[in-house]
A and B are shown apart, each in its own frame.
Chain A
Amino acid sequence: MGMKKKKLIGFALMAALASPLGLVGVATSEVLELDSLKNLYGGVSFDHDMHIEMVSDNCSKCHHHTAGTEAEGPLCITCHANSPETDDPTCSGCHERDVFSAENMKKSWGTDLLHHRSKPSLKAAFHQNCLICHIDNDAPSGCSDCHTMTEVGEKFYDTGKHAPVPKADAHGHGGH
């Protein structure tokens, strides 16, 4: 039961913090909109409850050691065997949008915590974490299975309205 409570507190916190940071948490319905790729893609609806069920309440599956459950990785355990829940267990609480900003570069390369050095950006964290699981469980794994491309995205990827006109001349064997 304590779990559930903790989670609720977490979401309340998230709702307060997330809007400017990346996660727009809708605590009541517990369906989140992930928008780390905004501009190119519309937000992705993420049913938090459903995923909690999928991982059988093992928050560490996604939240590592930050949600109060025992961390999974053998390397994580060396430090985080009994770590309590952190102040901000949300994804964006640790994974910055812009890991390559001067400030964040300094922070990540300057840390003594070796395993934290190449911390993925927010969008990378999502893809590394979600996608592997999705592929393994035959959940949707194609780009457009989760994302709907925006107008800006179509321009960026030269697709949809901005797709190139197919050429009749197939002079495309690269080496030439």
Chain B
Amino acid sequence: MKKVNRRSFLKGGLVTGAAALAVGSAKKANASGSFGGYPDSMGVLVDMTKCIGCRTCEAACNKEQNLPKPDKPFDDKSVFEEHRHGGLPRRTTEKAYTVVNRYEIKGREHPLFRKFQCNHCQEPACLTSCFVNAYTKTPEGAVIYDETVCVGCRTCMVACPFYVPAYTFSSAINPVVKKCIMCYDTRLKFGRPPACVEACPSGVMVFGKRTDLISLAHKRIEDHPGEYNHHVYGEKDVGGTSWMYLTSEDAPFDEIGFDTHLGTEPIINYVKEFLAIVPMVLTIWPALFTGFHLLATRKDTIKNDEGEK
């Protein structure tokens, strides 16, 4: 059976779209439907209360994705003291698709560790902002990227609400976007969890169907009263993500580097306000302005007609 996924759907729309000529805009209509996500897509639930900050996931990712040798060993805990520009903790880079950061929280005895990587949104901003369709949300849940068509405009980096995609700025010949692909090629495709999940010695991450994970997350919160923050980050945030997070009650999400003000709408919904006017302008403007022209120049026309008589 042929599956109609979002991508082929868009491609189909393209035929009509291309007909709408160079202006290439009527096709925006395709983006105005909403996409609830693939029913059987997989996800990962990250229970940050269990993370011990050993950085094994970082090492596993590095090996699985054949990333360059790190600047510091993966068992070196001094990276937790590192800060990038603006006093911010480490982020994903072209050399590291996943990063663990340590957060000291006031009134909490132990620090909390936060692992993060691409959250693999249900409706990814990177995908919807890409003008060469380099991104694909696979039915398995991964957001993957095709570097052979990337032009390097970096709009995906602007659009990503989580500051995930990195870019190989150092390459002059073939700079590309670098981000976690949920080990799609080597593992997810074959039903295996991403390398970081499997490598974790502490069982921080649970791999499973996204729908199952959501109920599991709520069950955990319910089963351990007073232990967990009641927000399952990623269940609804920015339209939902394949990776979701639980944190402890005394370490709220906004204190451990999560943006809790992103809302529940997927990013593309903010853009639809504009996309909606495109077909309108395309169809109404020509008639409207030609009409203006006829009105504005009617005196000349009358004069000309009289002249001809």
Contacts and interface: CB of A to CB of B under 8 A. Distances in A.
B218 to A, nearest CB: 11
A100 B198 contact: yes
Interface residues of B, number: 47
B201 A175 contact: no
A149 B63 CA distance: 17
Interface in B56-114: 56, 59-60, 62-63, 69-76, 82-86, 88, 90-91, 93, 110
Contact of B208 (A109, A167, A172): A109
B223 A164 contact: no
Interface in B214-235: 216, 219-220, 223
A156 B57 CA distance: 11
A176 B71 contact: no
Contact of B54 (A109, A143, A159, A176): A143
A102 to B, nearest CB: 6
A131 B202 contact: yes
A131 B72 contact: no
Q: Which 7 A-B pairs have the closest CB atoms?
A: A124-B203, A174-B84, A159-B73, A120-B203, A175-B85, A173-B84, A175-B84
A114 B215 CA distance: 10
10 contacts: A102-B191, A115-B223, A124-B204, A127-B202, A156-B74, A157-B73, A158-B69, A162-B73, A174-B91, A175-B86
Nearest to A125: B203
Contacts of A149: 75
A135 B84 contact: no
A172 B209 contact: no
A157 B54 CA distance: 10
Contacts of B86: 175
A144 B206 CA distance: 26
B160 interface: no
Contact of B202 (A75, A118, A124, A167): A124
A156 B63 contact: yes
Contact of B201 (A37, A156, A163, A166): A37
Interface string A144-176: 100001000000111110111011000011111
B93 A174 contact: yes
A82 interface: no
Contacts of A159: 73-76
Contacts of A125: 203
A50 interface: no
Given A109-B212, A143-B54, A124 B201 contact: yes
Given A100-B193, A156-B59, A159-B75, A105 B203 contact: no
A164 B50 CA distance: 29
A131 B52 contact: yes
Nearest to B209: A109
Nearest to B82: A172
Contacts of A144: 75
A105 B56 CA distance: 22
